[in-house]
Amino acid sequence: MAKILAAMSGGVDSSVAAALLLEQGHEVVGAYMKNWTNEEGLPGDCPWEQDIRDARAVCDFLGMEFRILSLTEQYRDRVVDYLLSGYREGITPNPDVMCNREMKFGIFREFAADQGFDHLATGHYARIENHPDGSVDILRGAIGKDQSYFLALLEQEQIQPALFPIGHLPKPEVRKEAERFGIPVAAKKDSQGICFIGDIRMTDFLAHYIPDQPGAIVNFAGERVGEHRGLHLHTLGQRKGLGVPSNTFGKAYVVIGKRPATNELVVAFDEPATPGLYSTRCRVGSISLTNRPLSGAENLLAQPRYRSEAVAVEAEPVENGGVILTFAKPQRALTPGQICAFYDGERLLGGGVFEEICD
């Protein structure tokens, strides 16, 4: 029997994860990370109070001790500041990946170790593979849903105590398990929006902290076709929300570049042949590896965003510790600041940050 700290979000996934561990005979304590309380009155839904009530109700129902960790200061320092500074610099950061590295498997993991827990459990759809040498690998979620991409920047020390009790289940089966246990949140909808901040549009969140800097939207020929409120509100590959109508042939515009020096947003028609929209080579830096080097992969794959296919790549090391990736097929709108996850088949090798698009 192990002593396990379960991260409780108030949702169905973390609740079923805790229930399964209890059913296996472990000693489980639930804890909610209070990372954001929206004291600044941002628009949107920040349901942290309801989430705490739900997490407490689940723990009471399962007979578990429930704790609340107030980490708002650390969350602002490690996640919100990272998010805002990235957008100010003109790149597109990923707060969900950083939240996992810095909060759940950073501060929260350290708390678990200090309190004498053997493991930290979360409701991620991913799997753990233990090896005879004591090392651990992360594998993709088994069926239908996979969240290993969001764990790409974790290192071995962070993975060692991790448990993903629902990683072998598809989402519908997790719902059925919640009903089997009689968990109070069995029918609760999945959370949306920014990690721990809630259901708020990113543009609304950014508008609260970064003032508008209007400028021209231009096409390849340098012709003005519209006006933007700020380069930080747009990302490469974006089609919606540009405020620029399609042309007479019904072709939609897409963002293909930013020109900070002139504060211009560059758009072109969303077509495979559009220069700058599709790329095969890029530089990825700030590499973080989970357990083994990229060079040892028999089937090296790169996944450039969460909802995209992992594609075969060749990785060439460069002097600064990063790699030049060459994709087997062109990728749409590779974006500086976003996370690239590396796999060997279904095994997560790690990840890095897109720094430059080379073609």
Which residue numbers are catalytic? 99, 195
Sheet (strand 264-269) strand order:
224-228, 215-218, 264-269, 253-259
From start to end of the chain, where are the E strands?
A: 3-7, 27-34, 65-70, 119-121, 126-130, 136-140, 162-163, 215-218, 224-228, 253-259, 264-269, 278-289, 300-303, 311-317, 323-332, 339-344, 347-357
Q: Which residues contact residue 123 at a Cβ distance below 8 angstroms, ignoring those fewer than 6 apart?
A: 7, 9, 11, 13, 14, 15, 16, 17, 164, 165, 166
Number of CB atoms found within 10 A of residue 116's CB: 8
HSE-CB of 205 using CA atoms within 13 angstroms: 21
